[in-house]
Each structure stands twice: as C-alpha cells, then as structure tokens.
Amino acid sequence: MASVYVSSVIDASSDKVWERVRDFNSLPVWHPRIRDSRIEESLPGDKIGCVRNFNLQNGDNLREQLLGLSDFDKFYTYTILESPMPLSDYVATLRLTPVTDGDRCFIEWSADFQCAADVEADLTDGIASNVFQGGFDALKRFFGE
C-alpha cells in the first residue's frame, strides 16, 4: 500500500480555514488545479455519502465520495470512485488542528492507496506536490502569507 502525507501551518485560525475548505464541493474555490465541481444528485456538500464530480484544469475528470466529516474535529475523509490515475482503494483525510501560538492552523492531508510498484513513486510525488501542497500553498496565499 502506498501512502502520502503532507502537513503545513497556515497563518489563520482553524475556524477560518475550515470555513473555506469544509464544503466537499468547494475545491474550485480554494484549489487552483480544479476547474469545476458539482455534487451529484443535488445533495448537500456535507452529506456523508455524497459524490463530487469534478474536472481538473487539464480536463481530467474525477469522482470522489465523502466518507466522514466532523465539524468538531475539523476533518473530512473521502475515497476516489473514478480517476485517470492508475490507483485503487484510495482513501484520504484532510484535517485541521488549531495552533494556539499566534492563532494559526496546522493542516495535514494524507492518503493511502493501492497501485503498481512501477508507478508508486510518481503517484505519491505528484499527489504530495500537486494536490496536497498545491492546495496548502493556495490557502496560504488566500490568508495573506
């Protein structure tokens, strides 16, 4: 099983960052690699089981399902249902934790998945830098870093 883990600190409260990322359909609002997104069957973006269907800037389409969400613990977990990436059994969690020193936010994004050994390094590197760190960098810019 392949694993990816990326973390960072954002100079904004976890409440403010959570407000920006909480809606499972909000990727195009805060992640620069996402062109558009919709929740299938017109379900709310925080309903466990809802499916987001979105397109990357390059035109690739993905479908992901929300598995868990907690406003108290500020996290959501999801799985990829369909993707052009050669992987399976992908489960990821985006989590925020308050940093009380300066009212900052610790943010972490992790994923586990299955893939062929010959593509593991490329997939883990791409997900870590383009998806996870790319999202964190965009959030940092939005919050004025």
What is the domain partition of the chain in residue ranges? 2-142
Strands in 2-10's sheet, in edge-to-edge order, are 2-10, 104-115, 87-99, 75-82, 61-70, 51-56, 34-39
Pick the CATH number of 2-142 from 3.40.50.1820, 3.30.530.20, 3.30.1120.80, 3.40.250.10: 3.30.530.20
> Rounded to two decimals, what is the model's pTM?
0.95
How does pLDDT run across 8-50, given as a tens digit for each residue?
999 999 999 999 999 999 999 999 999 999 999 999 999 999 9
